[in-house]
Structure 1
Amino acid sequence: MKQAISKWRPLISVVVTVLTIGLPLVMMIDGYVLMMQNDPLHPDALVLMAYLVWGLVGLVGVIAYGIHCYRVGWHGLTVLQRWLFSIYGVIFVLGLLMWLPTLGVSSFDWSEWIIYGQWN
């Protein structure tokens, strides 16, 4: 039974990554499209929510792959695990840039560029 699970583990990790990163990405794209159409129902909140979800997903991914990387070392990781660890790291940094102003640690002035694409 253990070999059957380990055979599917790379595919499962790719599917989980696509779902956990792809669904907020779809939300984000939808929010940006609605912002371009001047929708009055606050699509910027949809974009912000997607970035915040990315922050949480990235944190969980970095912790999970970070623990594994700590145990086996960077060179002990497979190429897929290195890619996923790097992707989760980038996603975590983008999400962290949104979580800091949301929690009141920094101001929203610089992060509005990520959401709106312009400096106010």
Structure 2
Amino acid sequence: MQTFSKIRPWIAGVVACLTIGGPLVVMINGYVLMAENDPSHPDALVLMGLLVWGLVGLIGVLTYGIHTYRVGWRQLPMRQRILLTLYGIVFLIGLFIWLAFLGLTPFEWAYWIIYGQAY
């Protein structure tokens, strides 16, 4: 029987794929429906996926950031560095969308992320 420490990297990888890949699938579906001119507001799917990305990125950055603070960047295994960087990128994208969604910044500059073009 394997110990928990041997399967921990696999668990972290699966969780990362589900938490980042799930909203990505929703966003791709929204982009495809927008390309087909679907009248049922597929841009809401894209916005929802981006907002969920912001929350997932925040949790991931906090989790891996605390661990990085405790052990140091040089002591991290490569997979944890990759996951911290990936969660950081996802958090930044989600943060920009959350700031626009809450009205703290103008929403017009975020159109290119959601719609793929500037309005």
The normalised TM-score by structure 1 is: 0.97
Partner SS for 2:109: coil
Partner SS for 2:59: helix
Q: Which runs of 4+ in 1 moved over 4 A?
A: none
Could you say which residue in structure 1 is the equivalent of 2:61? 62
Could you say which residue in structure 1 is the equivalent of 2:83? 84
Distance of 1:97 and 1:39 partners within structure 2: 26
Partner SS for 1:106: coil
Which runs of 5 or more residues in structure 1 are unaligned?
A: none
Residue deviations 1:79-115, cap 9 Å, x none? 0000000000000001011000111100110001111
For residues 37-116 of structure 1, the aligned pairs below 5 Å read 37-116=36-115
Could you say which residue in structure 2 is the equivalent of 1:5? 4
Q: CA deviation at 1:30?
A: 0.2
Partner SS for 1:60: helix
Distance of 2:99 and 2:39 partners within structure 1: 26
CA RMSD of aligned residues (A): 1.1
Identity of aligned residues (%): 62
Residue deviations 1:37-82, cap 9 Å, x none? 0000000000000000000000000000000000000001000000
Tell me which amino acid in the other structure corresponds to 1:82: R
Tell me which amino acid in the other structure corresponds to 1:62: V
Partner SS for 1:112: helix
For residues 27-38 of structure 1, the aligned pairs below 5 Å read 27-38=26-37
Which runs of 5 or more residues in structure 2 are unaligned?
A: none
Distance of 1:32 and 1:87 partners within structure 2: 22
